[in-house]
Structure 1
Amino acid sequence: MKIIIADDHAMTRAGVIAALSEMYPEADIIECSDAASVLAAAKQQHLDLAIVDLFMPGSDGFGLLKNLCKNYPELPVAVLSASDNPKHVHKALDLGVSGFIHKSSSFDSMHKAIQQVLAGATYTPNLAAPADELATAMADDDSPEKRDAIIASLTKRQLDILACLAQGMSNKAIAADLFISENTVKTHLKAIMAELGCNNRTEAGVLAEKLSLLPS
Structure 2
Amino acid sequence: MPRILLADDHGLYRKGLQAALLRAFSDATLEAAESLEAALACIERTPNFDLLIIDLHLPGRLSGEDLLRLSKSHGGMRVAVLSASESRTDILECLACGVHGYMSKGETEDEIISGINYILSGKIYVTPRLISADKKSPPLSIGRNIELIKFQMSNLTPRQNDVLVLLSIGKSNREIAQELKISEATVKIHTAAVMRVLGAKNRAVAALMAQELLDRSR
TM-score bracket, normalised by the shorter chain, equals 0.5 to 0.7
Aligned to 2:115: 113
Unaligned runs of 5+ residues in structure 2 are 133-138, 164-172, 174-183, 193-201
Aligned to 1:34: 35
Is the CA contact (8 Å cut-off) linking 1:51 and 1:77 kept in structure 2? yes
2:211 maps to which of 191, 194, 199:
194
Cα distance 1:135–1:59, how it changes in 2: closer, same or farther (>3 A)?
closer
What does residue range 49-64 of structure 1 map to in structure 2 within 5 Å? 49-64=51-66
Aligned to 2:176: none
The aligned amino acid for 1:20 is L
Residues 1:91 and 2:102 are matched in the alignment: no
Q: TM-score, normalised by structure 1?
A: 0.68
Unaligned runs of 5+ residues in structure 1 are 148-161, 179-183, 200-216
2: CA distance, partners of 1:44 / 1:57 = 21
What does residue range 150-169 of structure 1 map to in structure 2 within 5 Å? 166=156, 168=159
The aligned amino acid for 1:15 is G
What does residue range 1-216 of structure 1 map to in structure 2 within 5 Å? 1-45=2-46, 46-125=48-127, 126=129, 127-128=131-132, 129=139, 131=142, 133-137=144-148, 166=156, 168=159, 172=184, 173-175=186-188, 185=203, 187-195=204-212, 197-198=213-214
Q: Secondary structure at the residue paired with 2:103?
A: strand
2: CA distance, partners of 1:137 / 1:105 = 30
2: CA distance, partners of 1:120 / 1:66 = 18
- Equivalenced residues, count: 173
2: CA distance, partners of 1:166 / 1:44 = 43
Deviations 1:173-202 (A, max 9, x none): 353686xxxxx84x544312134x257xxx
Q: Secondary structure at the residue paired with 2:76?
A: coil
Deviation at residue 136 of structure 1 after TM alignment: 2.2
Q: Secondary structure at the residue paired with 2:5?
A: strand
2: CA distance, partners of 1:53 / 1:138 = 31
Identity of aligned residues (%): 25
Deviation at residue 78 of structure 1 after TM alignment: 0.6
